[in-house]
Structure 1
Amino acid sequence: MSDRTHAGRRVLVAEDEYILADDLQLSLEEAGLAVVGPFATLQDVLEAIASGSTIDAAILDVNLGGQQVYPAAEALRERQTPVVFVTGYEAASLPEGLCDIPCLSKPIDLRQALEALGL
């Protein structure tokens, strides 16, 4: 699924389940994308965002070790960075202010995620 149009694009991945994070990272790299992370904690995600490094899009697990990833989504939104939530929960449980962010169920379909991110 490698795509030259993805070359140089950087996708932040926040996922606390090791196997899912590893699979997602490999799939994104096979698609020609560079992965920022994956990060398993909200603190690590927020630090990556605050570092000012280039992030072209983000795939965020809603729950990272019991912490909601919403502050990271809001920080990315301020940077006008496309975000997709990934969750095992219902999309209806998202906060009202973030309901417009696409929400995919685990395990995600990579093509669907990339389409939702505009990649």
Structure 2
Amino acid sequence: MDAGQGNRSGDRARQRMWKTASSVPPDSATGRQLALMKDLSRAAISPQDFAKAWLDSRRAALRSEERLGESLSRQLDQVFYALDDYPIDPALREPGDVTEGELLAAVNDAIEKIEHARD
């Protein structure tokens, strides 16, 4: 690879550094995560469907090497941690697992912090 190719690759990486939700392209995997969070918040998607789609989008964002500012990344991580303890199949729920209400609260809290971030 020549130096020009390396620079183009570096330019792409810099273009994918989004510090605020408003800078995230809606057609990116991160944009999809944010849209799904809003969908869950207004009950436009079930918690189970949200969990599956959000985790798929999270994996896509990682594969695409989408980079986020610290504050935005931290809030999406909080949603991930809630989903990590949320049983998508209600039959597998155990004491101490994240409930649908707790998942919704975690998502709403993340949305609030993302919307007020100045990263």
TM-score scaled to structure 2, two decimals? Answer: 0.31
Which of the pair is proportionally richer in strand?
1
- The structure whose RCO (Cα within 8 Å, separation 6+) is larger is 2
Which of the pair is proportionally richer in helix?
2
Q: Highest Rg: 1 or 2?
A: 2
